[in-house]
Structure 1
Amino acid sequence: MDPKINKKSLSNLVYRDLKDKILKNDLFPGDKLIEMEIAAELGVSRTPVREALKKLEEDGLVNNYPRKSYVVSKISMKEAQNLYVVRKSLEPLAVEILAEKGLNKKTKFFEEVNEKLQNAMNGEEESVMEQLIIQWNVELVNSLDNEILRELMTTVNNRLYRFSNFIFRDKGNYKKHYNNLSKIFELIKEKKSKEARLASENTIEEIYSMFEQQVDYKMFKN
């Protein structure tokens, strides 16, 4: 890293780097985070690393064990369950509202993401698909006129990010999820609002089922 960057900026850079790796599951729950190793990898002193780890602890993404080291926190099944319950209440409503109006100028980017997702699926580009699936939800939210619903859905989606990434450890889930989103998109396009809402509810149930299938891993907590 650039030696001209000040101490606070270095700490923020380390924090963002580690947070991104944890949320994307490049660092798994239970992985040890050794200050000296992180400092060497990022080319910084141990001080900004220590500060970044403390901030990550405040976020609940790492745990600090006395005389040991920082460890990436385990994933809470209870939190995931609660978040998916809320998502199942909000997202189908958003889909229904959108389907009542059908596709329009405001849904242009939503349509573009759906097309890119189809191309990525055909090309079996898994990393691209994962990003586009996230973007699909973002554009769904952005297409809404209801500011309160947009705000609530954004909060829930942000908190679900770590859990959602974990689902795609099973590569077969890409196709399942793609098929579900394609069905919802077609129903929106056809203005079949009730059917679109039901399809969305079923999709979220299946997503949570995909997540539950990972509970045998030691990286989960109750």
Structure 2
Amino acid sequence: MHTASNPPASLAAALVHRSRANEVYEELKRDVSEFKLVPGDRFTETEISERLGVSRTPVRQALFRLQQEGFVEVLFRSGWRVLPFDFDKFEQLYDLRMVLETTAVQRLCAGSQAVDTALLAELNAIWLVPAAQRSTDHVQVAQWDEAFHCALVAAAGNAEMARVHRDVTDRIRIIRRLDFIKQPRVDATYEEHAKILKAVQAKRGDQAAMLLRAHIETSQAEVRKITLHQVHLARQAGSTTPR
């Protein structure tokens, strides 16, 4: 007789495979977002299983999940390939992101009791600093930028809006990080984030939304200029940048 603490062997094995598949999925997705795997790269399930030290079953499960999300495709008798960027989809995701974020800052400025002021204080501590105290680590700034936009939406107090925004963020991560290869974009991000936060502090909803919209549109315009050459430059930079 099996109990909750002593599940059938088949179920236990399935749970282990599922756990490992999730780990492989997260690892491969991280490889894509950090440009260790770039559009056009080909690989086999065996190569991945040997590199990660797992069996092929969780690797296959992870790859099918990534295939459903549009990151990779299976090639007949020749393994897998990282798919080219789908710029039409990115455009749509950026449009959705803009709606969510501008709505969020309007709510923040409206003074709702649901606003998470602690989250806003954390953002101020990162972005409202003297120029000499700004981070020059492009990888770190890219992560902070993503956290900034997620925190703005989360601070507005609508959990469902924040959930959808996190999903959008996850799907555009790879191209957003390409925006932080160049130092001028890092400097501009500090300046633009500071202006947005100051407008939120002053409860100027229309101004905050306008600044945020311009900030996202600039990033969206940079996405349209992305070339495969830039992606390979990012991979080279990633191989020499400490994590």
Q: TM-score range by the shorter chain?
A: 0.7 to 0.9
Structure of higher RCO (CA pairs closer than 8 Å, 6+ residues apart): 1
Alignment of 1:61-76 (within 5 A): 61-76=71-86
User: Which of 93, 97, 106 is residue 87 of structure 1 equivalent to?
Assistant: 97
| 1:152-183 C-alpha deviation (Å, 9 max, x unpaired) | 43343333323322322334322222211111
With over 3 angstroms needed to count, the CA separation of the structure-2 counterparts of 1:67 and 1:121, relative to structure 1, is farther
SS state at 1:94 partner? helix
Q: Which moved more, 1:158-167 or 1:94-103?
A: 94-103
* Corresponding position: 1:154 with 2:166: yes
| Residue pair 1:173, 1:210 contacting (<8 A) in 2 also | no
CA–CA distance in structure 2, aligned partners of residues 181 and 102 of structure 1: 22
| Structure 1 match to 2:65 | 55
SS state at 1:134 partner? helix
| Residue pair 2:105, 2:153 contacting (<8 A) in 1 also | no
TM-score (norm 2): 0.76
User: Which of 202, 206, 228 is residue 194 of structure 1 equivalent to?
Assistant: 206
Percentage of matched positions with identical amino acids:
25
CA–CA distance in structure 1, aligned partners of residues 158 and 26 of structure 2: 31
User: Which of 151, 163, 167 is residue 175 of structure 2 equivalent to?
Assistant: 163
| Structure 2 match to 1:178 | 190
CA–CA distance in structure 2, aligned partners of residues 121 and 209 of structure 1: 28
With over 3 angstroms needed to count, the CA separation of the structure-2 counterparts of 1:65 and 1:121, relative to structure 1, is farther
With over 3 angstroms needed to count, the CA separation of the structure-2 counterparts of 1:170 and 1:71, relative to structure 1, is farther
CA–CA distance in structure 1, aligned partners of residues 180 and 222 of structure 2: 9
With over 3 angstroms needed to count, the CA separation of the structure-2 counterparts of 1:86 and 1:10, relative to structure 1, is closer
SS state at 1:186 partner? helix
TM-score (norm 1): 0.82
| Structure 1 match to 2:8 | none
| Residue pair 1:103, 1:188 contacting (<8 A) in 2 also | no
* Corresponding position: 1:206 with 2:208: no
Number of corresponding residues: 216
SS state at 2:18 partner? helix
* Shift, 1:70, TM fit: 0.4
SS state at 1:101 partner? coil
With over 3 angstroms needed to count, the CA separation of the structure-2 counterparts of 1:9 and 1:173, relative to structure 1, is same
| Structure 2 match to 1:132 | 144
CA–CA distance in structure 2, aligned partners of residues 150 and 36 of structure 1: 38
* Corresponding position: 1:45 with 2:59: no
| Structure 2 match to 1:77 | 87
* Shift, 1:66, TM fit: 0.6
Q: Which structure's CA Rg is the greater one? A: 2
Q: Which runs of 5+ in 1 are unaligned?
A: none
Amino acid at match of 2:61: E
SS state at 2:116 partner? helix
